[in-house]
Amino acid sequence: MEVTIMKTSTFSLLSRFTVAALVLAITWADTDTSQAQRSRGRSRGRSRDGLMDLARDRDIGAELKFTDEQAESIGELRDKSRSGMIEKYQSFSDRIEAAKDDDAERTKIEAERTAAVAVLRKASEADLAKLISAEQFRALQVHQLKRRGVAGIQTEWVTVELKLTDDQKKKLETAVSGYDQQQQTLTESRSALFRNRDLPRDERDKKFQALEAQRKELGQKRDQAILGALTAEQKTQFQALSGVSATAEAKPAATTKSAATEAKPAATKSAAAPAPADRGAKVVGNDGEPAAAVAVVASFGPQAVAKGSTPAKTLKFNFVQAPWSDVLKLFTDAAALTWDRELVPPGTFTYFDSKEYTPTEALNVLNGAMLQKGFILVRRDRFAVVLNVDNPVPPNLVPTVVPTEISDRASNELIRVVMPLEEKDAGKAAEEVADLLGPQGKAVALSVANSLVVTGLAKNLSEIYAALKSYIPEEEKDVEYEAFVLKNVSAISAEEMIRDLFGLQPRGVQNVSGASGGGGSSRGSSRGGSSRGGSSRGGSGGFGGFAAMMQQRRGGSSRGGSSRGGSSRGGSSRGGDS
């Protein structure tokens, strides 16, 4: 019995160890195929940077504002993906074990396993993209790239975005393959050193530090080789995507220069043309710590050149940590505008996009970024100026645009529009549109001209104009007319009944007093006694008079007389004491 228990416990322990090993292998595979190949021998302390793992990170989930439903679905997808990969790994493990004495066959099987797992990983990432928005998925990719650093250039989506050629991909594979071999040798040396218990602790620690220094040096050389395979434009795009320095290759050379040697080129650069895109100044990062060799890039592309007073047709954004003074100078030059430099937003601007923009579209992007800082660029005619939106905007600086030209302006451009209201109430309209204007907007009612002068962002003014234009006052709405054929009552009597029903004045009467006074006697004498002019019409009117009249028409001798005239219309039935 005891032996059976011992065997069962041993089997359970081995099973758990096997599953743990498979899960660890899956973790490596989930980080991407190229990353898994570089993970051999250095799994301890390695961060998980697969998209699925990043999506399960609580901090990242909070930053990307995953809903509870999304988080639950991501967890279920991750478990399902892991189960599938464990099964796939298990199916290859037996083959690899069987080929342990044949290196060529083992390598072949490992390559097959890597390719099979890559297919599963792509499928799981495709399913992940369906669970979250495109913006959230893109943010996950950026997080992944930031964690991987320069080595992340080999990630599949990055190679596609940077448009790497086949030749560049081969260079990257060669650089990484050589690094992996040397890294494997260092790992084996570390393992052997760890197992050597005969060495004194101090000596072992020194050798560990030496191996760690070699590992860092190898990493730097690998990054230099990877970046060396990229063009200047690709380096700039990579830095814009990841925020990682794309100038690692310049570091070793910089350390060999003396302080005196460095001072001369610095003085020359300050007076010369701007530095190339891959040689920028050092700036402070978002965390407040100095960022290492961040390249300052500022360009709208070579095609963004104005010809006299004619703006450039298209602009491309290529900016990394660029001061706003440089950004606005380049934009106003390309848009053929004269820029008043009295006020410049603080900080820098980073935005990279291969899409081509018109000057108006580019202004929309720039104002979208500046509004977050409390500033806006206003253009009037061929003049441009930056304004602080927290202060009152001088009216003379805001361009006046006719309503039909609102669509020609940038959505985030500050403009003024005079909107004619025709029969609408200008004061009421000004009150109702106030909440639609935003903090930069203002509405003024012109009662004499019955117009509304609205100042604000073009996108808000476009919505307001559309809303006012679609509004139709009650009195202007279409009125439908319908004819009724009268069988048992004359048209005049029907009119009187309808007027009574709706409380309207009799035809020809100017006011209520006239209707209740003189109208009573005139109708009483002409239609037969005081019943029409007295109590039934001369009282409170309205529905009460109408009801009394209908009651009289339905009673006794009113219908039983010999004719419509005589006593039936003028006698006791309509007049007298009835």
Q: Where are the domains of the chain?
A: 22-162, 165-229, 297-388, 398-476, 491-570
Confidence of residue 469 (pLDDT cuts 50, 70, 90): confident
Do the strands 290-291 and 338-340 form a parallel or antiparallel pair, or are they unpaired? unpaired
Q: How confident is the model at residue 219 (pLDDT cuts 50, 70, 90)?
A: confident
What band does 358 get if pLDDT is binned at 50, 70 and 90? very high
Single pTM value for the model:
0.39
On the question of pLDDT at 32 being above 70, the answer is no
356 class by beta-carbon count within 10 Å (0-12 exposed, 13-18 middle, 19+ buried): middle
pLDDT tens digits, one per residue of 328-347: 999 999 999 998 888 889 88
Average pLDDT over residues 428-448: 77
Mean pLDDT value across residues 433-455? 79
What pLDDT was estimated at residue 48? 66
Farthest-apart Cα atoms in the chain, separation: 142
The percentage of the chain sitting over the pLDDT mark of 90, rounded to a whole number, equals 6
Asked if 574 contacts 548 with a C-beta cutoff of 8 angstroms, the reply is no
Nearest to 334 by CA among 364, 300, 363, 306: 306
Kindly state the helix (H) or strand (E) to which residue 387 belongs, with its residue range.
strand 383-388
Answer whether residue 170 shows pLDDT above 60.
yes
Measured over the CA atoms of residue 271, residue 273, residue 274 and residue 278, the dihedral's sign is negative
90-121 per-position pLDDT tens digit: 788 778 888 878 888 888 888 888 888 888 88
Residue 281 has pLDDT above 70, yes or no: no
Residue 389 clears pLDDT 60, i.e. is over it: yes
Flag the least confident range among 16-20, 104-108, 286-290, 381-385. 286-290
CATH second-level architecture of 297-388?
A: 2-Layer Sandwich (3.30)
Select 398-476's CATH number: 1.10.340.30, 3.20.20.70, 3.40.50.720, 3.30.1370.120.
Answer: 3.30.1370.120
pLDDT at position 9: 42
Please give the residue that has the higher pLDDT: either 375 or 260: 375
pLDDT tens digits for range 478-516: 556 678 888 888 888 888 888 888 878 777 655 444 444
What residues does 131 pair with on adjacent strands?
Answer: none
In this prediction, residue 306 carries a pLDDT of 83
Rounded mean pLDDT of 119-127? Answer: 86
Q: In whole angstroms, what is the distance from residue 468 CA to residue 457 CA?
A: 17
Q: How much is the average pLDDT of 522-533?
A: 40
Token pair 């410049």 in the structure block, residue = 344
Q: Does 398-476 match 297-388 at the fold level?
A: yes
pLDDT at 245: 58
What is residue 279's predicted lDDT score, i.e. its pLDDT? 32
Mean pLDDT comparison of 203-212, 250-259, 546-555, highest-scoring range: 203-212
Provide the H-helix boundaries in 196-301. 201-228, 232-242, 251-255, 259-271
Find out whether 362 and 353 touch, Cβ atoms under 8 Å.
Answer: no
- pLDDT of 51 reads 85
The rounded percent of the chain whose pLDDT value lies above 70 is: 68
What is the H or E stretch that residue 260 is in? helix 259-271
For residue 359, the model assigns a pLDDT of 92
Model pLDDT, residue 472: 52
**Residue 477: pLDDT over 60:** no
Q: What is the pLDDT of residue 521?
A: 39
pLDDT given for residue 292 in this prediction: 43
Q: How far apart are CA 172 and CA 177, in angstroms?
A: 8
Angle at alpha carbon of residue 512, lines to 510 and 515, rounded to 5°: 75
Position 441 scores a pLDDT of 79
Q: What are the CA-CA distances from residue 63 to residues 154, 198, 433, 455 (Å)? A: 26, 50, 34, 35
Pairing, β 383-388 against β 338-340: parallel
Given the DSSP bridges, would you call strands 283-284 and 290-291 parallel, antiparallel or unpaired? antiparallel
CA–CA separation, 212 and 11 (whole Å): 38
Spatial distance between the Cα atoms of 348 and 345, rounded to a whole number of angstroms = 8
Whole-number Å distance between alpha carbons of 439 and 143: 34
Query: Which range is most confident: 54-68, 92-106, 469-483?
Result: 54-68
Task: State the first-to-last Cα distance of the chain, in angstroms, to the nearest integer.
Answer: 118
Pairing assessment for the beta strands 297-299 and 290-291 based on DSSP bridges: unpaired
The Cα–Cα gap between 154 and 33 comes to 10
pLDDT at 386: 92
| pLDDT tens profile 288-316 | 344 444 467 888 988 888 888 889 999 99
pLDDT of residue 465: 84
Average pLDDT of the chain to the nearest whole number: 71
Contact 202, 122 (CB under 8 A): no
Reply yes or no on whether the pLDDT at 539 is more than 60: no
> Minimal CA–CA distance to 320: which of 280, 361, 272, 372?
280
